[in-house]
Structure 1
Amino acid sequence: MRFATYTADGATFYGAVADEGMIALSPDFPAWPSLREVIAADGLDALAEAAADLSVTHPEGSFRYAIPVPSPEKIICVGVNFPARNEEYRDGQDLPPYPSLFVRFPRSFTGHGRPLIRPKASRQLDYEGEIAVVIGKGGRHIAEAEALDHIAALTLANEGTLRDWVRHAKFNVTQGKNFDASGAMGPWIVPFEDPAQIADVRLTTRVNGETRQDDRTSRMIFPVAHQIAYISTFTTLVPGDIIVTGTPTGAGARLDPPQYLQPGDVVEVEAEGIGVLRNTVADET
């Protein structure tokens, strides 16, 4: 079963995704204001059980998707995590011994079906399709062998980037990774129950129907379990934290010539077993 956060009639709900629309569950679980609290309470099974006896409350067309887990304490992103992506840099360096990490703010992501915003400050908005893991059981100094036990769910991310702004300073990319609504996350979360859900999954990104990125999670330089173990060495992971696990080669900046996103473009990030995250592109007003 899949769970999403969405808005309808000026209110925000979370619920179960059905073929015909959404089954609102948040009114029945007032102790859990959002999916973040559901995850912290290990409540996804309770939601699934409740949804089995309910009908669609918000049919398709009557709601808009939001970011699945609102206001996570941390969104940590992993950079350069596929071999071909490392080769894109053409710096002659071997595979890195440690993962490259940076943080994003929740406001830099929008929901499925909503436009990515190309800001007034730049015309170099780029796409990066990725799988994201949602932490369910927190911890510090998590052993790699136990790391997957700390995942509650999976979702998708388009880790939109302003390429000129990531190069404004010598040692960081924060500016170019955090423009409001420059990226997307969703459409929903899929409960994590089996390591096979992340071990060898095809991940693709399409722009206007053209496949631009296409790789498998089995080729990650730093697998998800390693990411969780490494990150938990320096910070305490808490329920609802999100780790965006890395993008394959093929981003627009690396094409010849570069192809940045334009208003009206449609970007789709797809992963086996999770779904499709789809967004258009619009200029900031």
Structure 2
Amino acid sequence: MALTVIRFSHAGAEPAWGVLFGDKVAPLSTRFATTGELIERGMEEARALRVEDAVYKRAELSILSPVTTNQQFLCQGLNYRCHVRESGMDPAKLPFNTLFTKAPSSITAAYGGIIRPNHVRLLDYELELGVVVGRHINGPVRVDQGNLHQYAAALTIVNDISARDVQLPQAQFYKGKSYRTFAPVGPYLLFPTVEEWRRLGELHLRLLVNRDVRQDSYCREMIYRPEQTLTELSSIHDMAPGDLLATGTPAGCAAKAPSSKVLLWALKALMSERRKWAVFLKAQLRNPRYLQPGDEMTASIRTDDGLLDLGEQRHQILQGQERRQ
């Protein structure tokens, strides 16, 4: 049975780690400073804790991101066939894995506020399965479904918040996705068993804005599975325990390609870059699906039988420098 670990603060104390048992939490005796330290040195104690060790009620705790900001934040784009199609492309003609990074300082908790910077008008959401690295990878390795559990430790929820009016016209994935609070992570780290790692395709991703369902898909729609991506990343650079891989988002984002093929051809062939993006932005500003201050957003990832449950995120969109915890 999967182990559920949370990072929390109790009564304003320093962050701590614990194991979740229903609505109660059993704390670990050591306050590991980072996610990597927890994975390397804390899992034996975490697995030994029992429900009778749970001394805190979950409701009395402040739940923090279970991935700390010292870790690498690696991302995949265009990794769900349905999302590739809504972006105006053919999945069969996309023969590469799109990889990029977000600033770890964009990580925020699973509950609270997401700040829309004052200059951003097109704020979008991207619900994603997060895979947390479980060991040092200092050279090329071959990861497959059978040994994924040896390289990945845990799963979590990630929402890859994106300022489309920065990301797309400026061709700046990092800049458009790395503002502070643009990466809600958690609320938990779910540590599956060896057998449960084989169920990743059954995980059901669901995101709502003001109770309107926006994203509703399964992880089996991924083009490049986590084991394939970890194999490719290992050929490029090192990874460490606690590093986070966000595995891409399914269909349902606010941003979509023009539905008219004639308009799409005109944008590509007839207009200057500046004019093309001016037309795009003007059209997108009429799209009511972008996040607005005051919007309430919830997101969850779980199997339909509930045996693998990564919890639920809840956020309100805030304007400018306002921040609510």
TM-score (norm 2): 0.79
Q: Rate the CA distance shift 1:120–1:203 in 2: closer, same or farther, 3 A.
A: same
Is contact 1:157-1:277 (8 Å) kept?
Answer: no
Residue 40 of structure 2: aligned partner = 40
Alignment of 1:44-83 (within 5 A): 44-57=43-56, 59-83=57-81
Residue 189 of structure 2: aligned partner = 189
Is contact 1:3-1:190 (8 Å) kept?
Answer: yes
Size of the aligned set, in residue pairs, is 279
Residue 207 of structure 1: aligned partner = 209
**Per-residue CA distance 1:39-67 (angstroms, 9 max, x = gap):** 123x324213134441323x344322211
Alignment of 1:217-228 (within 5 A): 217-228=219-230
* CA–CA distance in structure 2, aligned partners of residues 17 and 195 of structure 1: 20
Kindly state the Cα deviation for residue 128 of structure 1 after the two structures are TM-superposed.
Answer: 0.5
Structure 2, unaligned runs of 5 or more? 257-283, 303-307
Is contact 1:20-1:56 (8 Å) kept?
Answer: no
**Per-residue CA distance 1:70-128 (angstroms, 9 max, x = gap):** 12431101000011211122245744222111111222121011111111121221111
* CA–CA distance in structure 1, aligned partners of residues 143 and 23 of structure 2: 40
- Equivalent position to 1:22, from 18, 21, 25: 25
- Equivalent position to 2:109, from 111, 114, 117: 111
Percent identity, please: 25
Residue 296 of structure 2: aligned partner = 266
Q: Rate the CA distance shift 1:190–1:157 in 2: closer, same or farther, 3 A.
A: same
Letter in 2 for 1:153: A
Residue 119 of structure 2: aligned partner = 121
User: Bigger CA drift: 187-196 or 88-97?
Assistant: 88-97
Q: Rate the CA distance shift 1:60–1:238 in 2: closer, same or farther, 3 A.
A: closer
Letter in 2 for 1:283: Q
Kindly state the Cα deviation for residue 148 of structure 1 after the two structures are TM-superposed.
Answer: 4.0
Structure 1, unaligned runs of 5 or more? none
Residue 278 of structure 1: aligned partner = 314
Q: Supply the RMSD in Å over aligned alpha carbons.
A: 2.1
TM-score (norm 1): 0.90
* CA–CA distance in structure 2, aligned partners of residues 93 and 129 of structure 1: 19
* CA–CA distance in structure 1, aligned partners of residues 208 and 168 of structure 2: 25
